Amino acid sequence: MSERMIERDEATQNWLKDSQVNSIRSRIPPKGQLGPEDCQECGNDIPMKRREHGYELCVACAERRERNVGR
């Protein structure tokens, strides 16, 4: 691989990483703000401990989504 290709690959990897970090950060609620009371997928209640961390999905929906990632 040429040095230019390596530099371009590194720049692309950095951009992807930064995009992922920014996407995650955008979903974290501001300090002191709770996540929603109801799951965004099924409408069930979200326990207070999950809401305090800003989660938008109940445990069951979060687990289902995680199992389906990469399929």
Q: Do residue 19 and residue 40 come from a single domain?
A: no
Question: Nearest 5°: phi and psi at 69?
Answer: -65, 130
Class of residue 55 by CB neighbours under 10 A (exposed 0-12, middle 13-18, buried 19+): buried
pLDDT of residue 71: 59
pLDDT in tens, 29-54: 677 789 899 999 999 999 999 998 88
Residues 40, 68 within the same domain: yes
Judgement on whether residues 23 and 46 belong to the same structural domain of the protein: no
Q: Measure the CA–CA gap between 35 and 44, rounded to whole angstroms.
A: 13
Asked if residue 36 lies in contact with residue 46, where contact means CB atoms within 8 angstroms, the answer is: yes
pLDDT at 68: 87
Tens digit of each residue's pLDDT (9 = 90 or more) over 57-70: 999 999 999 998 76
| Total of domains in the chain | 2
User: Are both 47 and 61 inside the same structural domain?
Assistant: yes
Q: pLDDT value at position 70?
A: 62
| Residue-range definition of the domain harbouring residue 41 | 34-71
With H, G, I as helix, E, B as strand and everything else as coil, classify residue 45: strand
